[in-house]
């Protein structure tokens, strides 16, 4: 009579799980089961001793059965990727009947953050005095028969919206057309690419033809070389010009895109196909056909926005459901953006080919209404640029001088054509001076460098930095994404102090920092600028209350810049009185060296800062500010 042993009694605990065993035979069988469970969990099924099938045969079958769980085609035995691995496999009870038996395994898979757990059974056979695993497809799951595989359907969760200040989504689902070229059919390449570039100009898009031609030359003959992705209405406008070009290929899709092609693009980022690198770096999180955030807030808040996908695991042939979870939608991210203000800012910079930025901050609460980067900007220059503010910083210097009592708007301050400090000669941007002994408010309105240089010693070693700090520059604050608060040096030589007085030297700021400082002057107190409202970043305390008599005087001086100074082009802007300060910031070498163009100011509840790289004068920035204000009030 054959003896039957049920593995019960004293527990033997190992890393792979716990199996109760009694007798040496049961102990050996339990040990074999634990080794199998550990090997499966570690993806090392080739280290197990099997009965019947060879190791390679088991691995090939296992890869085919579980291919869908690692994103491969059903039935694949692709060995270029590691085999599918459960999150946990524990060996359970062993039952023996002579030289045969069964072992229970408790299997847990982690699929995109969801957990699929079940029990399975594996056969045990004793051969040549050793217990081996008698592996069959049912060892993977009890519902699998020979020749059957696991199938998995993955449903991507509805992506959480990025919204404006009113809670309305700023990304919408739209039909797109991807325009590409097949190299072997694109003949002659320069002519075809040139015709596409000409057509794109009709919809306001400038194509980098050199880049397209370079990629065409490097691609395989039958590859799809992407040229541009257009919204369906844009494509329809130029379809007749490009549809029949040699080598042209068109792919249609539907995707979440910003309200316009330029809408706060550097700040927000975009939603596009997940990359292979992202799938590999985030096992179980993405599927090959998923969409994900790329750049900006879409990428920064990807984990929040993407939600949790839904899964359905089935037996491929019968369709029998083994496990299912519902997708959970992503959580929205709320911003402070105002759609009209953002469109106005984007439109104001739309024709500027040089790197440029425009930030608008609400004076009443410090929130960012618009954050625009012109077509020439390759990053979020509006928030993370670190550039000299030039003469716009005279707003800060003037605040420090007025606040300390060193000057009043009517204090006479000479404005000579040049000033020499420790052997270095400084001059005014217009290579001249102001006759007589003009009052300080005139020096400010005309942006006289030499007057500020002569006044700089009145601030002492750290007076300028203190004045800047009162307006938020150089402080520690967060807006919900990367941003530069700026920096202002203290001490230094007389030359350093002279340069700092009109925004040169080591002073570096972002357009956001200058817009927030301008809002502080208009409001009478600095408030932390904010662009992400939910989830809200830690809030910095507001700055000190500014003396009304000081801000009142400075406001009058900034109004004079518009009425009789360097920003008179803003006098005709609709919407009421405009207050401003212009500036140029020299960089590099030359005689004269090149310079960035700036203007900052406010109208109503909107403070703004406009920066244009290498403009050499402030005029283009002033023109952009006027376009912004005009569109804002239309």
Residues 32-88 pLDDT 10s: 999 999 999 999 998 898 987 666 688 888 999 998 887 766 556 666 778 889 999
260 burial via Cβ count (<10 Å: 0-12, 13-18, 19+): middle
* Residue % of the chain over a pLDDT of 70: 94
Stretch (H or E) spanning 177 = strand 171-181
pLDDT at 285: 81
397 burial via Cβ count (<10 Å: 0-12, 13-18, 19+): buried
For the cut 70, the answer to whether the pLDDT of residue 576 exceeds it is yes
Q: In terms of pLDDT, which residue wins out, 83 or 368?
A: 368
Residue 197 phi, psi dihedral angles, 5° rounding: -60, -40
3-state secondary structure (DSSP) of residue 299 = helix
Tell me how far apart the alpha carbons of residues 61 and 417 are, in angstroms, rounded to a whole number.
Answer: 87
Q: How confident is the model at residue 21 (pLDDT cuts 50, 70, 90)?
A: very low
* Residue % of the chain over a pLDDT of 90: 78
For the cut 90, the answer to whether the pLDDT of residue 573 exceeds it is yes
451 burial via Cβ count (<10 Å: 0-12, 13-18, 19+): buried
Helix ranges restricted to H, 405-540:
440-446, 449-455, 463-470, 494-501, 511-523
For the cut 60, the answer to whether the pLDDT of residue 438 exceeds it is yes
Contact 291, 273 (CB under 8 A): yes
For the cut 50, the answer to whether the pLDDT of residue 316 exceeds it is yes
pLDDT at 14: 36
| Torsion sign (Cα): 538, 543, 544, 549 | negative
Tell me how far apart the alpha carbons of residues 30 and 102 are, in angstroms, rounded to a whole number.
Answer: 10
Contact 46, 63 (CB under 8 A): no
Q: pLDDT digit string (tens) for 184-219?
A: 999 999 999 999 999 999 998 889 999 999 999 999
pLDDT at 362: 98
Residue 415 phi, psi dihedral angles, 5° rounding: -130, 75
> Is 162-333 in CATH node 3.10.620?
no
Tell me how far apart the alpha carbons of residues 443 and 88 are, in angstroms, rounded to a whole number.
Answer: 75
Spell out the domain ranges in the chain.
4-148, 162-333, 339-632
Going from the C-alpha of 234 to that of each of 176, 200, 248, 348, 568, the distances in angstroms are: 9, 9, 17, 21, 38
Report the relative pairing of strands 11-14 and 100-111 from DSSP bridges: unpaired
pLDDT at 13: 35
Q: In terms of pLDDT, which residue wins out, 400 or 283?
A: 400
How large is the average pLDDT for residues 520-536? 97
| Local structure of residue 357 (DSSP, 8 states) | E
Domain 339-632 sits in CATH at: 3.40.710.10
pLDDT at 204: 84
pLDDT at 592: 83
The closest alpha carbon to 610, from 258, 286, 356, belongs to: 356
For the cut 90, the answer to whether the pLDDT of residue 588 exceeds it is no
Tell me how far apart the alpha carbons of residues 118 and 107 are, in angstroms, rounded to a whole number.
Answer: 6
pLDDT at 109: 94
Q: How confident is the model at residue 287 (pLDDT cuts 50, 70, 90)?
A: confident
Tell me how far apart the alpha carbons of residues 293 and 285 are, in angstroms, rounded to a whole number.
Answer: 13
pLDDT at 197: 96
For the cut 50, the answer to whether the pLDDT of residue 4 exceeds it is no
pLDDT at 1: 38
Contact 471, 396 (CB under 8 A): yes
pLDDT at 72: 67
298 burial via Cβ count (<10 Å: 0-12, 13-18, 19+): buried
3-state secondary structure (DSSP) of residue 496 = helix
pLDDT mean across residues, the chain: 91
Domain 4-148 sits in CATH at: 3.10.450.100
pLDDT at 73: 63
pLDDT at 376: 84
Q: Do domains 162-333 and 339-632 have the same CATH topology?
A: no
């Amino acid at each position: 009579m054959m003896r039957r042993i049920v593995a019960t009694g004293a527990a033997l605990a190992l890393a792979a799980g716990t199996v109760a065993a009694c007798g040496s035979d049961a102990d050996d069988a339990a040990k074999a089961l634990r080794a199998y469970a550990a090997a499966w969990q570690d993806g090392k099924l080739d280290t197990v001793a099997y009965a019947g099938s060879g190791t390679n045969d088991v691995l090939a079958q296992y890869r085919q059965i579980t291919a869908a769980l690692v994103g491969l085609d059903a039935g694949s035995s692709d060995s270029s990727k590691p085999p599918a691995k459960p999150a946990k496999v524990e060996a359970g009870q062993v039952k023996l009947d002579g030289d045969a038996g069964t072992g229970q395994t408790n299997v847990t898979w982690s699929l995109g953050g969801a957990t699929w757990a079940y029990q399975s059974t594996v056969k045990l056979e004793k051969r040549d005095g050793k217990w081996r695993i008698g592996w069959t497809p049912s060892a993977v799951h009890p519902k699998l028969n020979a020749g059957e595989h696991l199938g998995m359907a993955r449903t991507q969760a509805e992506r959480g919206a990025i919204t404006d200040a009113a809670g309305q989504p700023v990304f919408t689902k739209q039909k797109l057309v991807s325009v590409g070229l097949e190299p072997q059919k694109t003949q002659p390449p320069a002519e075809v690419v040139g015709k596409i570039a000409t057509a794109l100009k009709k919809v306001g898009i400038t194509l980098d033809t050199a880049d397209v031609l370079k990629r065409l030359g490097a691609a395989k003959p039958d590859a799809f070389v992407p040229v541009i992705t257009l919204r369906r209405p844009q494509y329809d406008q130029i379809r007749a010009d490009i549809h029949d070009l040699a080598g042209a290929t068109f792919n249609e899709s539907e995707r979440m895109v910003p309200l316009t092609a330029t809408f706060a693009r550097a700040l927000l980022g975009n939603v596009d196909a997940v990359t292979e690198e992202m799938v590999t770096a985030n096992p179980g999180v993405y599927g090959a056909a998923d969409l994900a955030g790329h750049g900006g807030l879409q990428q920064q808040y990807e984990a929040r926005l993407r939600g949790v996908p839904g899964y359905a695991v089935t037996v491929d042939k019968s369709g029998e459901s083994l496990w299912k979870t519902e997708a959970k939608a992503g959580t929205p991210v709320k911003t402070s953006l105002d759609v009209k203000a953002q469109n106005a800012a984007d439109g104001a910079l739309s024709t500027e080919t040089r790197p440029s930025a425009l930030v608008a901050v609400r004076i009443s609460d410090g929130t960012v209404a618009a954050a625009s980067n012109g077509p020439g900007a390759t990053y979020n220059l509006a928030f993370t640029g670190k550039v000299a503010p030039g003469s716009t910083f005279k707003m800060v210097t003037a605040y420090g001088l007025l606040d300390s009592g060193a000057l009043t708007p009517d204090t006479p301050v000479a404005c000579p054509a040049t000033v020499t400090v420790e052997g270095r000669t400084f001059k005014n941007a217009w290579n001249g001076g102001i006759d007589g002994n003009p009052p300080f408010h005139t020096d400010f309105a005309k942006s006289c460098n030499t007057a500020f240089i002569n006044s700089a010693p009145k601030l002492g070693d750290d007076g300028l930095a203190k004045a800047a700090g009162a307006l938020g520059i150089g402080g520690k604050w967060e807006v919900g994404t990367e941003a530069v608060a700026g920096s202002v040096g203290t001490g230094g030589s007389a030359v350093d102090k002279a340069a700092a007085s009109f925004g040169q030297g080591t002073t570096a700021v972002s357009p956001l920092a200058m817009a927030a400082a301008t809002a502080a002057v208009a409001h009478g107190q600095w408030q932390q600028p904010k662009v992400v409202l939910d989830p809200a970043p830690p809030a910095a305390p507001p700055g000190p209350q500014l003396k009304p008599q000081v801000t009142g005087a400075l406001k009058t001086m900034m109004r004079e810049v518009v009425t009789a100074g360097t920003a008179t082009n803003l006098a005709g802007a609709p919407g009421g009185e405009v207050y401003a300060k212009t500036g140029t910031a020299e960089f590099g070498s030359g005689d004269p060296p090149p310079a960035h163009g700036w203007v900052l100011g406010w109208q109503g509840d909107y403070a703004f800062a406009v920066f244009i790289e290498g403009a050499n004068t402030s005029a283009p920035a002033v023109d952009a500010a006027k376009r912004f204000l005009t569109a804002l009030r239309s």
